Amino acid sequence: MATVGLEQNNQTKPLWLLAELTYRCPLQCPYCSNPVEMSKYKKELTTEDWFRVMQQARKMGATQLGFSGGEPLVRKDLEDLIKEARRLGFYTNLITSGVGMDEARIVAFKEAGLDHIQISFQASNEELNNYIGKSKSFQHKYEMARLVKKYEYPMVLNIVLHRKNVDQIKDILDMTVDLNADYVELASTQYYGWSRINIEQLLPTREQLKNAELVAREYQEKMKDKMKVIYVIPDYFENRPKKCMNGWGNIFLTIAPDGSALPCHAAGQLPGLEFPNVTDHNLEWIWNESPDFNKFRGTSWMKEPCKSCDEKHKDLGGCRCQAYMLTGDATNADPVCGKSEFHEELHSDVDRIGKLAGDEKFEAKPLVFRNMKNSKNFTAKKTPETV
Amino acid sequence: MTIELKKEDILEISPTFRFQWEEMQNCYVVLYPEGMVKLSQSAGEIMKRIDGNKSIIDMIDDISTAFNGADVEKDVLKFLEVAYGNGWIRTK
């Protein structure tokens, strides 16, 4: 059979297509995963471009499709994109803040064939939620989450955790129980881009994490037949790196709003990448042949201590973006790893912030919110990595 | 799961999961938010008979007939318990 040959060649497939439809967003979360330089990207792919990308990805075996952003709801053609995705046989995920949604649109998405809606909350109380997102969105999100369940979608609630909200973890989980979530993602902030700029204000303390883990475990046990709670401790506190994106060019394919194809949504910051664009190349070439997608695929790019490490197939050296950001060289081991010569430096920085946390003056430092104005400032200065 | 399946139960795929054939994987899969489970051939044979009309007994008969009268009851029940426990299927 045709597929047998492919498997023998050990060819990877882009099973997960993340379509970042736009960088426009009504929220301004200071840990946003979009690039700090997002103001440089003016052009967005057209509806027909996205149709073509989806068709090509599906043909290569993609099954999961995430509509993300920015805020995907600002795209007026979202219903059409969902319809085409469903026609092609994708499992379609809408990853949204809920801002820009209403009952009519939830119904329209259902008719178009949308499978799942994920709504983000910034906190479990209105004041903090609205402060972090810089948007009066809490009540609206709550209402939208109720409607998502009313129309029988499976619902994921996503809450990014950091020093300012992690102590509310019990309230957050009670809120997700109240909203009948099917899955809860307690996503620890990853410190790239915007969150790297704000790391001093966002990094939790070890004590906070200890408590958060206990509470998360308690709810995992208590709710196990009703709601799946996913909680991963932030890797800055670990001694072994995670297998980032399940491996470079292994199953994840991100398409940025302008059509740049990336092995991960944060990879835009790495030097030496060419960012092949879907308006110039087909996905087959981008995935299988392009230099970018082969650059860190597998283990042949590694140097010591990864190269001779007996765990190299387990974690694939961790995250390339983190290695670049913290060591200046993307081919280094992820400093989260205890074998990295930069590991101690990372942990002492974590401890430094931990000691300062709670200090009135330290806590008063303002957050840099994710918006086009700040993006322009930082892009002009080109300093975010060194902040 | 606290509730157990009975052989007279009529089953359907839960609305929060999707079951479909994947050409590129050459197998049936169960899809859910941001995830996918690949099914073995026998699991696929069982799942594709869940249509909201057939009882478990009907399904066992049907599969047995399709496989030359083989005794499949134990395997079918074992898989259905797993599928039910995972929330992929529910009783009607």
Q: How confident is the model at residue A12 (pLDDT cuts 50, 70, 90)?
A: confident
Judge whether residue A2 has pLDDT over 70: no
Q: B29 in contact with A at a CB cutoff of 8 Å?
A: yes
Measured CA to CA in angstroms, residue B51 lies from A111, B14, B55, B85 at distances of 21, 11, 9, 18
Mean pLDDT to the nearest integer, A263-283: 93
CB A257 within 8 A of CB A317: no
**Min Cα–Cα distance to chain B from A2, Å:** 9
CB A114 within 8 A of CB A92: yes
**Min Cα–Cα distance to chain B from A108, Å:** 17
Q: Which residues of B touch A61 (CB under 8 A)?
A: 22, 24-25
Q: How many CB pairs under 8 A join A and B?
A: 51
Q: How confident is the model at residue A42 (pLDDT cuts 50, 70, 90)?
A: confident
**Min Cα–Cα distance to chain A from B26, Å:** 7
Of B17, B53, B67, whose CA–CA distance to A91 is shortest? B17
Give the containing element (helix H, strand E) for B83.
helix B73-85
Q: Residues in chain A whose beta carbon is closer than 8 A to a beta carbon of chain B? A: 1, 3-4, 13, 15-16, 60-61, 63-64, 66, 89, 91, 93, 115-116, 118, 152-154, 156, 182-183, 225
Task: Pick B33's closest partner by Cβ from A3, A61, A93.
Answer: A93
Q: Which residue of A11, A55, A63 to mutate against B (max B Cβ within 10 Å)?
A: A63
Task: Look at A225 and B1 and tell me if their CB atoms are within 8 Å.
Answer: yes
Judged by average pLDDT, the poorest of A5-19, A210-224, B1-15 is A5-19
**Min Cα–Cα distance to chain A from B71, Å:** 29
Q: Which residues of B touch A118 (CB under 8 A)?
A: 33
Distance between CA atoms of A362 and A370, rounded to whole angstroms? 21
Q: Which residue of B24, B27, B84 to mutate against A (max A Cβ within 10 Å)?
A: B24
**Min Cα–Cα distance to chain B from A9, Å:** 14
Give the containing element (helix H, strand E) for A20.
strand A16-20
Task: Pick B31's closest partner by Cβ from A3, A91, A153.
Answer: A91
Mean pLDDT to the nearest integer, A351-369: 95
Distance between CA atoms of A29 and A246, rounded to whole angstroms? 26
Specify the DSSP class assigned to residue B22. E
Distance between CA atoms of B16 and A150, rounded to whole angstroms? 13
Measured CA to CA in angstroms, residue B41 lies from A20, A339, B21, B81 at distances of 35, 43, 11, 17
Give the containing element (helix H, strand E) for A320.
helix A320-327
Task: Look at B31 and A153 and tell me if their CB atoms are within 8 Å.
Answer: no
**Min Cα–Cα distance to chain A from B43, Å:** 19
Distance between CA atoms of B56 and B58, rounded to whole angstroms? 5
Classified as helix, coil or strand, B17 is coil
Tell me the per-residue pLDDT of A116-156, one tens digit each, with 9 for 90 and over: 999 999 999 999 999 999 999 999 999 999 999 999 999 99
Q: Which residues of B touch A156 (CB under 8 A)?
A: 33-34
**Min Cα–Cα distance to chain A from B19, Å:** 10
Q: How confident is the model at residue A385 (pLDDT cuts 50, 70, 90)?
A: very low
Tell me the per-residue pLDDT of B14-60, one tens digit each, with 9 for 90 and over: 988 999 999 999 999 999 998 999 999 999 999 999 999 999 999 99
Specify the DSSP class assigned to residue A190. P
Q: B38 in contact with A at a CB cutoff of 8 Å?
A: no
Task: Look at A66 and B22 and tell me if their CB atoms are within 8 Å.
Answer: no
Q: Which residues of B touch A154 (CB under 8 A)?
A: 16-17, 32-33
**Min Cα–Cα distance to chain B from A91, Å:** 7
Q: Which residue of B16, B30, B36 to mutate against A (max A Cβ within 10 Å)?
A: B16
Q: Which residues of A touch B17 (CB under 8 A)?
A: 154
Mean pLDDT to the nearest integer, A12-16: 93
Determine what percent of chain A is predicted with pLDDT higher than 90.
89
- Helix and strand counts by DSSP (H, E) for chain B: 3, 5
Residue B65 backbone phi and psi in degrees, to 5: -60, -45
Q: How confident is the model at residue A6 (pLDDT cuts 50, 70, 90)?
A: very low
Classified as helix, coil or strand, A275 is coil
Specify the DSSP class assigned to residue A230. E
Judge whether residue A167 has pLDDT over 70: yes
Task: Look at B36 and A15 and tell me if their CB atoms are within 8 Å.
Answer: yes
Distance between CA atoms of A193 and A39, rounded to whole angstroms? 13
Per-residue model confidence (pLDDT) at position B61: 94
Task: Look at B18 and A183 and tell me if their CB atoms are within 8 Å.
Answer: no
Average pLDDT, rounded, for chain A: 93
Q: Which residues of B touch A89 (CB under 8 A)?
A: 20
